[in-house]
Structure 1
Amino acid sequence: MHRPRLEFPEVLVMEILSKLPVRSLTRFNCVCKYWCSSFQTPHFISKHHHNNLKNNNLNLLLIRCDGNNFQPYFSHLSNQKDKQYIVKQKIHLPFFKSATPSVHGACDGLLCLQESSTDKAAIWNPSTREFRILPPSSIQCPPYFSSIQEGRWNLVEVSFRHAAFGFDSKTDDYKVIRFVALTFINSEDEHHFESQVELYSFRSDSWKEIPSPGYTLTHIFLGNNCVDGICYWITECPVFHDFVGPILSFDMANEKFSILSIPEFIGPFSECCFNLLAFNGSLGVITYGSKGIDLWITSEGIWTKQYRIESISGALWPLGFGKNDELFLRNIGTGEVLQFHPSTQELKKLEINTYLDNFQYDTPLLHVYVESLVRITGIQEPKEHIIRQPIRDVSNKSKCEERSA
């Protein structure tokens, strides 16, 4: 006697599937054509992303550079049952083999990668392992400059820095903004600097030049500097270089720059270090030094201290925030990664060491993203770039093999 086949309504099936990780949904693409096509609809993609946000399903990526071969890679951190973070897998970054790229985002589960020494940039979905390589820069040498100087100046360096990645809800478009610095030199070894700005549109897959705001930016932001489609940078004071200038903002929707007053609690560079960051959907500033660590967030222009961490022994550098507002730090002296819980004031050492990444100008950073099915119609990352076996398990396996031998 055959049991009757139990069938669930398709609406309920899609609701259940929208709560699964991307890796499972990728495997289920081959179940039937209806599932495959449903996973690519805007409604399902939005539903899946909303569920991940609601359940706080955050993923932690520590971008690093191997000190042995200088190859950039991501360490995917996994939270074990004992709440101890370890390196779950190691992901090498294709297309960025000669330098460690700057990482911007995450926006709807997407990250933007930018190599500062060249115009090489890409948008990456770490959940689907899909890349979109951005087109070459559209920046041209300023015509007014070359004509005024009558050809006495030579362009010797072009760098691409201070990028930001965000979403324009007005046009339903992802955009990348970056500042291009041009360095000229003449026969008398005199230098002249020009700054230009270009904006990338995901929809048109092209760059366009926009007017430069005329401010000197500092590269001090932690993980992500874009909140609700508005990007932020800290500038240098044009008169006193030891002091901080105003906060520069750029609205992705109207494509206009604006200026915000610098918070009163930020003093000179010599007194403390600080970073801009996106924290729980708000613009934040984290200050740190010998006196401790403070986190401030702003709402409608009013800055409020979120919490304070009293002075911690050792020189610690903030890496970023995790799932439950825990702060990840790096011991500069030993290279160890530590985890600080604001609620318990507990500081825990993790089984992660960044000693090989201990370069003066290359500090690891932590990036947090939510899994997403957003399609970027790019190319698939080669599987050989992903080492999925946990590093700790590999070492344990080797020890077991040695004992059995």
Structure 2
Amino acid sequence: MADRLPSELMTEILTRLPVKTLVQIRCVCKAWCSLISSPNFISSKVNQTIHFNKINNSDTLLISHYINKRRKGGGRFSANFYDERLGGRLIQLESPIPNSASHFHIFDSCNGLVCLTDNAFDKANNLILWNPSIRKSVRLPIPSIGIDSHTNTVVRAAGSDGPYGVVIGYGFDFKTNDYKVVRITCINNFPFPEVELYSLNRGHWRRICVAGPIHHFCFAPRPSQAFVNGIVHWVGCNMVAASDISILTFDMSSEVFSQMKLPTSPENGWVVSHLAVSVLRESLCVGHFDSLVRKVSIWVMKEYGVVESWTKLFTFDLGRDFGGILGFRRNGDLLFFKRYDHLFSMDLESQQVKDLRIRLSRDDLKSLYVVTYMESLVLL
């Protein structure tokens, strides 16, 4: 009967099935395997899932944290799905880095493909693109720019001991249907950072020319990124004048850096280490935690690229035990954690707080990463 159906109708039917089911039914026949594995079908499934999640304000959280097993000899990093539709249970995932006790940093998730590293993010040369839904991953080649590449000529000429920081940006190029990773390496006393770009379609790194205000950059303890409108955003500051703070951007299609102004500075001024960028209902968002008065302020850019459209949503006090902001859910709820306590979400309109009942420990807080996630066939 399937042979009698038009291919367009067959595609429409199959895209409505869950990813797990699609992976299983590939073995039914060669025609289905070829269809489900094709780039066009995978893109259609991604778009259908994005549309469904947008209508239903539905999302799944991907949570990674360190499990302390000091008494049993070491520890390990754990990756889990959290979905309230499944009763709020944590579903253990098979890690793409088996038995790894090294640093495990998740940068972001895009269309179901997660970018992470298994070493310290200030080096970030062991990078992985991982699709938990189909349990497949791609380990990226080692970038050419690193500590070893600058220990002789460049660094010594600049009078420095070596690179002092690396920042990663990850997103999707809508024009070429390609997933890209941008890696920025800054060197002490060297005038310009060096930049490499990885393309999943091409399968290799390439150096790109640095154009724009890339000197505006900051290496915070846990730098945040926000991927909006095909552009990656970070909080940045002038390497010479640290009080000169702005948002640094990188367009994944044009591969050009640019700069964006922050909202009007609050009364106590911006503190770059207290700033984070995020995505709130598909809009660029900035959060600032004022350590003096223990308050969190949230701004959203209502019209992308228009500085005058920055709007302060609210300022609220999360108490003395507030630990930090992790981002936003698709429905707009704020995700945050408290010191040595559970993970929480807050409805921004009612400011009602909900305990997600995910117990955290002191070790968890040092290595807790939460990103919104959707099922996907990418990498199939």
TM exceeding 0.5? yes
Aligned to 1:372: 376
Query: For the Cα contact (< 8 Å) 1:222–1:365, is it kept in 2?
Result: no
Aligned to 1:351: 357
Quote how far apart the aligned CAs of 1:353 are.
1.0
Q: Deviations over 1:200-227 (max 9, x none)?
A: 1222222122345333323377864222
2:48, 2:248 → 1: CA distance?
A: 33
Q: Deviations over 1:345-372 (max 9, x none)?
A: 221222211115345xx25121112221
Aligned to 1:29: 26
1:65, 1:328 → 2: CA distance?
A: 19
1:6, 1:103 → 2: CA distance?
A: 41
Tell me the secondary structure at the aligned position of residue 102 of structure 2. Answer: coil
Tell me the secondary structure at the aligned position of residue 83 of structure 2. Answer: strand
Quote how far apart the aligned CAs of 1:279 are.
2.7
2:151, 2:208 → 1: CA distance?
A: 13
TM-score, normalising length: structure 2: 0.81
Q: Which has the higher strand share?
A: 1
Query: For the Cα contact (< 8 Å) 2:59–2:83, is it kept in 1?
Result: no
Letter aligned with residue 370 of structure 1: M
2:272, 2:126 → 1: CA distance?
A: 36
Report which of the two structures shows the higher radius of gyration computed on alpha carbons: 1
Aligned to 1:9: 5
1:245, 1:235 → 2: CA distance?
A: 6
1:86, 1:260 → 2: CA distance?
A: 39
Letter aligned with residue 73 of structure 1: S
CA RMSD of aligned residues (A): 3.3
**Residue 145 (str. 1) matches residue 142 (str. 2):** no
1:132, 1:262 → 2: CA distance?
A: 36
Query: For the Cα contact (< 8 Å) 1:111–1:123, is it kept in 2?
Result: yes
- Choose 299-308 or 318-327, whichever is displaced more: 299-308
TM-score, normalising length: structure 1: 0.76
Quote how far apart the aligned CAs of 1:61 are.
0.6
Query: For the Cα contact (< 8 Å) 1:220–1:276, is it kept in 2?
Result: no
The alignment-based identity, stated in percent, is 25
Aligned to 1:245: 245
2:131, 2:253 → 1: CA distance?
A: 23
Larger RCO: Structure 1 or Structure 2 (Cα < 8 Å, ≥ 6 residues apart)?
Answer: 1
Give 1:180's match in structure 2, choosing from 156, 173, 185.
185
Aligned to 1:254: 254
2:286, 2:51 → 1: CA distance?
A: 25
Aligned to 1:342: 348
Tell me the secondary structure at the aligned position of residue 23 of structure 2. Answer: helix
Tell me the secondary structure at the aligned position of residue 66 of structure 1. Answer: strand
Quote how far apart the aligned CAs of 1:62 are.
1.2
Aligned to 1:64: 65
Aligned to 1:388: none
1:51, 1:366 → 2: CA distance?
A: 24
1:142, 1:208 → 2: CA distance?
A: 21
Q: What is the correspondence of 1:109-258 to structure 2 with a 5 Å cutoff?
A: 109-114=112-117, 115=119, 116=121, 117=123, 119-139=125-145, 140-141=149-150, 145=154, 148=157, 155=161, 158=163, 161-182=166-187, 195-212=193-210, 213-219=214-220, 224-238=225-239, 240-241=241-242, 243-258=243-258
Pair 129,168 (structure 1): closer, same or farther in 2 beyond 3 Å: same
Aligned to 2:106: 103
The runs of 5 or more residues in structure 1 that have no matched partner are: 184-190, 377-405
Pair 347,178 (structure 1): closer, same or farther in 2 beyond 3 Å: same
Quote how far apart the aligned CAs of 1:26 are.
1.0
Quote how far apart the aligned CAs of 1:254 are.
2.2
1:163, 1:112 → 2: CA distance?
A: 9
Query: For the Cα contact (< 8 Å) 2:263–2:299, is it kept in 1?
Result: no
Q: What is the correspondence of 1:312-327 to structure 2 with a 5 Å cutoff?
A: 312-313=318-319, 314-327=321-334
